[in-house]
Structure 1
Amino acid sequence: MRNWPLFDLSITTPRLELRLPSLDDLDELADRAAQGIHEAGYMPFMFPWSDADPAERARSTLQYHFRAWGSLAPEKWSIDFVVVYDGQVVGTQGLMATSFAVTREVGTGSWLGQRFHGKGIGTEMRRAVLHLAFAGLGAHHATTEAFEDNHASLAVTRKLGYQEDGITVHDRQGKPAVTRRFRLAREDWQESPGYELHNLPACLSLLGLTS
C-alpha cells in the first residue's frame, strides 16, 4: 500500500511470520480471542478486556487494532503484528514507543490463543520484535511489564536477558496486584539466527526516523 507502507512490513523467524494484519487476518485474530486466551479466573491484563463474553472479546480485538492504525504518529506509535504459525493466525505481538527518535526506548505487549500455549511461540514472537527494535530501528532499550503471577510472560522475559527494573502496584479488578518491570539494554540483547526484516525502510518516517 503506497501511502501506508506499514502494511508491507513483516518479520520472519524460523517458525513464524509477524505482519501487519489484513482485515481477514483481524477476523481470524478475533476468533482466537473469542476462543480464549487464558484460563478462567485469572487476569493477565491491566484492562480486563478478556473477561468479556466471546463476541465482545472478538469485537474489542478488532477495535483495538483500528484505533492503533488511526492514532499512529511519529511522536507515539504502536505496531501490532499478527503472529502466523503453521498457516494460522495464533496471536498478536506489539511494539510501541513514545518520542522514539529521542528516547530510543520501546515497550512490548502480546497475547497468544490459549490452545497455542506451551509451544515456545511466545518466546519466538518476542524475539522477533526485539530484532526489529534493536537491529532494525536502533533502539537502546526495550521494556516490558507483567503481573507477578503471570509466570509464562515472566519466564519469556527472563529467558531473553531482561533485568529487573522495579515494581508497580495496580488495582486489578478491585484488588491490589503487583507488576514487575524489566529492561533489556542493547548491549545485553543477543541476536538470533533466522530472523529477518522485510520492507522496513519505507516505514521509518512514519515512526519518526530517517532512512
Structure 2
Amino acid sequence: MFKGALFDLDGVIANTADLHFKAWQKLARNYFKAELPIELEEKTKGISRSDSLQVILDSLKITLTSTEFSHLANEKNEIYKAYLDKLTVADILPGIDNFIAELKTQHIRLALASASQNGPVILQKLGLATAFDTIVDPKQVAHGKPAPDIFIAAAQSLNLQPVQCIGLEDSIAGITAINASGAISIAIGDAAKLKAAYKIVADTTQLNLATVTAVFKH
C-alpha cells in the first residue's frame, strides 16, 4: 500500500483550470488588445504564473521589462482571485470528495503540490483545507513543473519518499514532474496527451482507492 497522495489542484481537485486561462485572456485584451489562441491553454496548464506569462508573451511576440512583467503577473493574479470569490464546494470535481474520504480512511497522507500560490485559499473555499496534511508553497521550491521539485518537496513534507506516493495531475508538465520525482503518476484527462503517465483515467469519477492501489501494486 502506498502511504501518500500528492495532488495537483487545478483540474484535479476543482474546476479552476479554466479560470486561469480566462484571467490570462482578460489580461491580454486589457493590455495588448489581443485574443489568445485556445491552444495556449494547454501550454500554460500546470506551470507557474511567471512561466505561463512568458509562454503568452512569446506567442504574442511581446517583450517586457522586468518591472512590467512583474506588474502583469500580479495583475493576472488579481483577476484570477476575483473569479475565485465565487468558488464553492459545488466546484469540487465529481468524485474527488469521496476519493479523498477513501484515502483518509486508510490513513493515506495527503499533500497539495500545485503551482498555484492560491492553493490554501482555494482549499478553504472548497471546504477541503483540513483534509490535507500539508500544502507545498510553490515559491519555496527552486524549479517549477515540469521539474520534479514540488513533488519531491510534497513527499518530504509528509515524511515520505516519492516512491511511497502516487501523484495526480491533469497536465503534461505535471506528469513529467511526477515521473521525474519517482512517484507513481496518475493522469486525469486525454490519454493521447497524457500518455507518459503510469495510469490514465478519463475523469475524476474514475478515481477510487481500488484503482490507485492496484496501480501502486504493479
Structure-2-length-normalised TM-score? 0.31
Q: What is the TM-score normalised by the length of structure 1?
A: 0.31
Q: Which has the higher helix share?
A: 2
